[in-house]
Chain A
């Protein structure tokens, strides 16, 4: 039908690679922030501070939802040449 995708791939052959690396980079950033939030919530000094625990949980949940949502932009696996 349309050869738009073919032309696009020819114009920027590293596109899939960049998208994949970008998504993985964002996921690692998310996990780093979530680890930091969890570490804060586990701090003994804050064990009486329920608001902090709720706030970190909310932040962590939002980041987690983002992590799942961003998976929809994962590039499809390339079909190997032998199967074509």
Chain B
């Protein structure tokens, strides 16, 4: 009875070509179960990442540049470090006000840029656009406003800090 049983090594390394490429439904079902386990592990990895590397808001004030470096109606890209480097946009609006937003579009994280002619922040990937004063979505697929930093101007120097109420 047991002599008829095919040893594992033989089924793993079959001689005939047809046996090597054949995937039985049993094997397919086992593969699906393994894939299911891999998806559960992936979900677990997200939890571990969220617990081990929490995203923190930038603390304190950060010097960005002198205000003369960014003429009215233009923008400057800068990055703030921490446990993760995040790109931001510093915008000098036409009416002289300053704003700073995260540069990652809230849709699919493409880099957004300020377009002075429209007075909007636009995403080139899917034509999303944001209000350049509030960061609110004007049109396109982005689901949320751009995260914003507070801009502080002191003696001709531009600093940013996170909003205290956010």
Q: Interface residues, chain A, CB within 8 Å of chain B?
A: 20, 23-24, 27-28, 30-31, 34-35, 37-38, 41-42, 44-45, 47-48, 50, 53-54, 56-57, 60-61, 63-64, 67-68, 70-71, 74-75, 77, 79, 83
Which of B46, B109, B143 is in CB contact (< 8 Å) with A41? B46
- Write out the residue numbers on chain B whose beta carbons fall within 8 Å of the beta carbon of A27: 29, 32-33, 36
Q: Interface residues, chain B, CB within 8 Å of chain A?
A: 4, 24-26, 28-30, 32-33, 35-37, 39-40, 42-44, 46-47, 50-51, 55, 106, 109, 143-144
The secondary-structure label for the interface of chain B is helix
Which of B33, B44, B55 is in CB contact (< 8 Å) with A48? B55
Closest CB in chain B relative to A46 CB, distance in Å: 10
The secondary-structure label for the interface of chain A is helix
- Write out the residue numbers on chain B whose beta carbons fall within 8 Å of the beta carbon of A64: 33, 36-37, 39-40
